[in-house]
Amino acid sequence: MTTTLVDLFTSALQFHPGGDVRAVERQMTNSGSGAWQIATFHVETDADVHADHWEMHPEAEEAVCCLTGGVRLYFRPDMADGGEEMVQLRAGAAVIVPRGRWHRLELDAPSDLMSITLRNGTRLEKRTEAQ
């Protein structure tokens, strides 16, 4: 068996059906691989977490984990007249985003984050102030 050292800040881990685990280039949108992805990244600004976009994963829930720093996770309102829901994450905290739920992040401080999800069908949508 060959062991491979993986830098989690430059690569992602994909867990494939059948038990294979591969280090791959991180893809934050649809990978089409059918694999669950663990991606860890350091973020300094809201632009690093595409705060101006909503994201949604139609085929799986997502665990958003704050390893260091702090972030706010916003959920898009289900109804047109509703307000955004917000969950604040500090270092060592995580939240599970329900399947199909539009969400976005904003930073409280530079942070190290981890995302775990099945990226099949992942969608990004530009945020507008009307939402």
Picking from 55, 54, 51, 57, the residue whose alpha carbon sits closest to that of residue 72 is 51
- The tens digit of pLDDT for each residue in 47-103 reads 998 899 999 999 999 999 999 999 999 999 877 778 899 999 999 999 999 999 999
Q: Give dist(CA 112, CA 20) in Å, integer.
A: 26
Please tell me the pTM assigned to this model. 0.88
Helix, strand counts (H, E) of the chain: 0, 9
Q: Give dist(CA 62, CA 74) in Å, integer.
A: 14
- The tens digit of pLDDT for each residue in 16-63 reads 988 999 999 877 666 677 889 999 999 999 999 889 999 999 999 999
Q: How many CB atoms lie within 10 A of CB 57?
A: 23
As for how many domains the chain has, the answer is 1
Q: Give dist(CA 115, CA 12) in Å, integer.
A: 10
Residue 52 lies in a domain: yes
CB 52 within 8 A of CB 106: no
* Domain encompassing residue 115: 11-126
Residue 131 lies in a domain: no
Residue 20 lies in a domain: yes
